[in-house]
């Protein structure tokens, strides 16, 4: 009887912890997400939803831009973990380009398509590249950099 109860409880947990309809992404590897899409980051135990891209002031495609005037765009995401939603606004160029949830860092690494010289980009056209990193990965990287003398 105990085995049966355990099997039922385990099955219920698996059914409620993930949505088989959502695509998945591993930690430490970049993934692309579209506006309105949810992606389960299974290793981290949460999902990411891209809500919108706003205030896109990136340098237009074909326009001459200096390094200081490359612009920025706001990436609005929601992180869902244990039934709680955490909204984050991340930037493509200016701080913050990353946010923290539990022991993980969510970082923007790219935004497509490039901003056109004329006209606007519709929300459905945006594709954001994100990466989710474990704080342990960052600590190991910092220790390696410190040991090599590349940190001040």
**3 domain-assigned:** no
Q: At residue 132, what are phi and psi to the nearest 5 degrees?
A: -110, 120
Per-residue pLDDT of the chain (152 residues; tens, 9 = 90+): 554 544 444 344 443 445 567 899 999 999 999 999 999 998 899 999 999 999 999 999 888 887 667 899 999 999 999 999 999 999 999 999 999 988 999 999 999 999 998 899 999 999 999 999 998 755 544 444 444 444 44
CATH code for the domain in which residue 42 is found: 2.60.98
- Would you give the distance in Å from CA 32 to the centre of its chain? 9
**33 domain-assigned:** yes
pLDDT of residue 107: 97
User: From the CB of residue 107, how many other CB atoms can be counted at a distance below 10 Å?
Assistant: 16
Q: How far is 42 from 117, CA to CA, in rounded Å?
A: 39
**14 domain-assigned:** no
What is the number of domains present in the chain?
1
Owning domain of residue 101: 23-147
pLDDT of residue 29: 95
Dihedral angle at the C-alpha atoms of 56, 62, 66, 69, nearest 10 degrees?
A: -10
Query: Is 46 within 8 Å of 79 (Cβ atoms)?
Result: yes
- Look at residue 81 and give its three-state secondary structure: strand
Q: How far is 136 from 140, CA to CA, in rounded Å?
A: 6
pTM of this prediction?
A: 0.76
pLDDT of residue 4: 54
**4 domain-assigned:** no
């Amino acid at each position: 009887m105990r085995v049966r109860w355990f099997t039922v409880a385990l099955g219920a947990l698996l059914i409620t912890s993930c949505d088989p309809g959502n695509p998945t992404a591993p930690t430490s590897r970049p993934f692309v997400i579209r506006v309105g899409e949810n992606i389960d980051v299974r290793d981290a135990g949460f999902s990411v939803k891209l809500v919108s891209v706003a205030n896109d002031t990136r340098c237009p495609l074909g326009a001459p831009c200096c390094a200081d005037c490359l612009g920025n765009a706001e990436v609005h995401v929601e992180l869902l973990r244990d039934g709680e939603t955490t909204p984050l606004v991340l930037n493509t160029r200016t701080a913050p380009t990353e946010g923290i949830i539990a022991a993980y860092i969510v970082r923007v690494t790219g935004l497509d398509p490039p901003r056109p010289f004329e006209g606007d980009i519709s929300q459905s056209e945006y594709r954001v590249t994100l990466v989710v990193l474990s704080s342990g990965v960052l600590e190991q990287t910092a220790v390696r950099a410190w040991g090599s003398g590349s940190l001040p």
